[in-house]
A and B are shown apart, each in its own frame.
Chain A
Amino acid sequence: MFAARTPLSTRLWVAGVWLFVAFFVVNLFGLIGSVLTSSFATRWLGTWLPAGFTTKWYFAAWDEFQLGDVLWVTFQVVGSVVALSGLVGVPAAYALARREFPAKKAVMLLLLLPLLVPPVTYGIPLATVLYKSGLGGSLAGVILANLVPTVPFVVLVMIPFIEQIDPRIEAAARVFGASTPKVFVYVLVPILLPGVLAALLLVLVRTIAMFELTFLVAGPGSQTLVVALYYAVFAAGVRAVQSIDAMAVIYMITTLVWLIIALRFVNPTQIVARAKRSNT
């Protein structure tokens, strides 16, 4: 840490660490790269690079996997989840940030649980309930299932954001004659907007990539892109690998586009579930 005169052993150690990081990153890009390359390949057997390049697999995949419909379903699911978790989560976050009430700790725990318990564990009982109530396999069911982790996520991301805003600003607005709707429109919304956008972008990215919940709840007409991709890979023996890879690339682009947009507003660390940093 104190530069220049570091001993050899430390230098070797540092080199080793960076070597590993490079190894990881190189392999990661290799992994992604091979999917990308394969999707453009005419034939690729036993050689470093494909024999030739073509874009035909994208069109083939579009038809074969009905990607148009799948993308539309994905869009509906993700859009609804983002909108609903925003509508439900942001006001709740405001209430939790600004009010101390008797059951507050219980509510916070209730909201923390879906983020700590992995989706498969609560997904199975959730799927059971949804199927029993007739929502299983439907678009509504998929949307409801995906709300379980996203609503708490929005709340937990927004609370510290709102807590940072001085409550006296709202008090000042009232003193100067603003009614509650006016306080909301002129004071709260403009200040909250960046945080809300950031939170919703994160929800969007996470929902596109959310596999387990949708997998357990979706039917043939309500699969999101990632689930459709899973089934395609699963039944890979029947189809040409390149078209599956083309579909995978389409999925990648969908996620990455939103990831890049999200990263303009948000630190990469926040995409990870909010770390339990409280000192308990």
Chain B
Amino acid sequence: MTVAPTKFETLRLEGVSRDFGTFNALKNLDLTIRRGEFVALLGPSGCGKTTALNCIAGLLDVTGGRIMLDDARIDTLRPEERGFGMVFQNYALFPHMNVRRNVGFGLKMRGVPKPEIDRRVDEVLATVRLTSQADKLPGQLSGGQQQRVAIARAIVIAPPLVLMDEPLSNLDAKLRLEMRGEIRRIHQSLGSTTIYVTHDQEEALSLADRIVVIREGVIRQVGTPAELFGAPAHLDVADFMGFRNRVPGRVIGRDGDFVTLDVGDGARLVGKPRDGVDDGAAAIAMARPDDLVPIDAATGIPAEIETIEYRGREYHGLARTAAGLEVFFSSPTALARGAKIRLGADPDRVLVYPEEPR
């Protein structure tokens, strides 16, 4: 007996805040999610992404703002009235019920007649390929199987919205890749709106239609995976998306879409500026380790190699400049520790950000 509408066009968080005593976990979030989208909430531990998910699910109250489903306000509804499907990080499978009863639980709560429950459970178990495990208890299943039961349980009720809280974090690397494929496949065949919480940017990039980067309770950027991978809007987002190199410098020239930075020791870096980078001002150039390579030019950043490790296709290393700055680079050939090299990058792969306000 759900009270929330079963089909919707938009889910809107309007000024949503959540406080725990004096700690502000969520600060005035505004977000719109459209039907059928796969949205990833991405951020480091403690940023508030799971809090946001719990507020949407109704497991936590919002302390400010509201959550709207089309024109209906849902943040005042109890979780059992919202009708969303949720996959928990630890799966939360009922240990005393077998797979069939676990998956059918939501349908039973809705008063669906037993033959119908059996039919739909069989259908969804086939979708997640667990038909042979239907009578087992969760304790008898492997991690990956338990995960699929959790997903089956959430989607069998045909919810308008599926919430997933870091469902892959408890699995080993190989299984994670496999299950990622499963989740993508299920989303494509069912088309249900999904909100997926993760701290793994690779996961977010591979699964989501849109990514919401959250940090310290605030939304830092919303965009497609390509937008976030190639053009993070802020320094901290870039840092999170793998731009490990932070080279401070001063803007000394501008040419079309690029600016040139003087980064000290006679070295120069050219990159694409983001908003707020002014001529003559201090700025920070960010580049991925893959994109910072040894070059012959005299304008390369001089540094001494501290460590170098073999990565199969290439070598990754850590070098230190005379000023003590750590830079992460990659090289197609092996280099000696202690060697002095010059590093540079393709301007298309370098992003320049204004210096962080103090």
Contact = CB atoms under 8 A, between A and B. Distances in A.
Contacts of A2: 58-59, 61, 78-79
Contacts of A3: 61
A4 interface: yes
A5 B61 CA distance: 9
B126 interface: no
A30 B108 CA distance: 49
A212 B277 CA distance: 84
Interface string A1-29: 01111000000000000000000000000
B59 A5 contact: no
Nearest to A7: B78
A5 B76 contact: yes
Contacts of A5: 76-78
A2 B75 CA distance: 12
A131 B330 CA distance: 87
A7 to B, nearest CB: 8
A4 B58 CA distance: 11
A3 B79 CA distance: 11
Contacts of B59: 2
A75 B58 CA distance: 58
Interface string B68-112: 000000001111000000000000000000000000000000000
A4 B79 CA distance: 12
Nearest to A3: B61
A2 B77 CA distance: 10
Nearest to B62: A4
A5 B81 CA distance: 11
B50 to A, nearest CB: 16
Nearest to B60: A2
Contacts of B58: 2
B21 to A, nearest CB: 15
Interface in B165-213: none
Contacts of B78: 2, 5
Nearest to B80: A2
A4 B76 CA distance: 8
B153 to A, nearest CB: 20
A4 B61 CA distance: 8
Interface in B44-64: 58-59, 61
A2 B76 CA distance: 11
B62 to A, nearest CB: 10
A235 to B, nearest CB: 55
Contacts of B77: 5
B253 to A, nearest CB: 58
A8 B76 CA distance: 15
B159 to A, nearest CB: 18
A228 B39 CA distance: 74
A3 B59 CA distance: 9
B95 to A, nearest CB: 11
Interface in A180-225: none
Contacts of A4: 61, 76
B235 to A, nearest CB: 38
A2 B59 CA distance: 6
A139 B59 CA distance: 60
A14 to B, nearest CB: 15
A4 B60 CA distance: 10
A5 B73 CA distance: 14
Nearest to B81: A5
A190 to B, nearest CB: 35
A94 B7 CA distance: 63
Nearest to B59: A2
Nearest to A6: B78
Nearest to B76: A5
A2 B81 CA distance: 12
Interface centre among B61, B77, B78, B79 (most CB of A within 10 A): B78
A154 B317 CA distance: 57
Nearest to A4: B61
A5 B78 CA distance: 7
Contacts of B61: 2-4
A195 B295 CA distance: 63
A5 B75 CA distance: 10
A3 B77 CA distance: 11
Nearest to B77: A5
A3 B140 CA distance: 35
A228 B266 CA distance: 94
Interface in B102-151: none
Interface string A66-90: 0000000000000000000000000
A39 B139 CA distance: 59
A5 B58 CA distance: 11
A240 to B, nearest CB: 55
Interface string A257-272: 0000000000000000
Contacts of B76: 4-5
B162 to A, nearest CB: 20
Interface in A102-123: none
A278 to B, nearest CB: 16
B78 to A, nearest CB: 6
Interface of B: 58-59, 61, 76-79
11 contacts: A2-B58, A2-B59, A2-B61, A2-B78, A2-B79, A3-B61, A4-B61, A4-B76, A5-B76, A5-B77, A5-B78
Given A2-B58, A2-B78, A4-B61, 7 more contacts: A2-B59, A2-B61, A2-B79, A3-B61, A4-B76, A5-B76, A5-B78
Q: Which 3 A-B pairs rank lowest in CB-CB distance, beginning with the nearest?
A: A4-B61, A3-B61, A5-B78
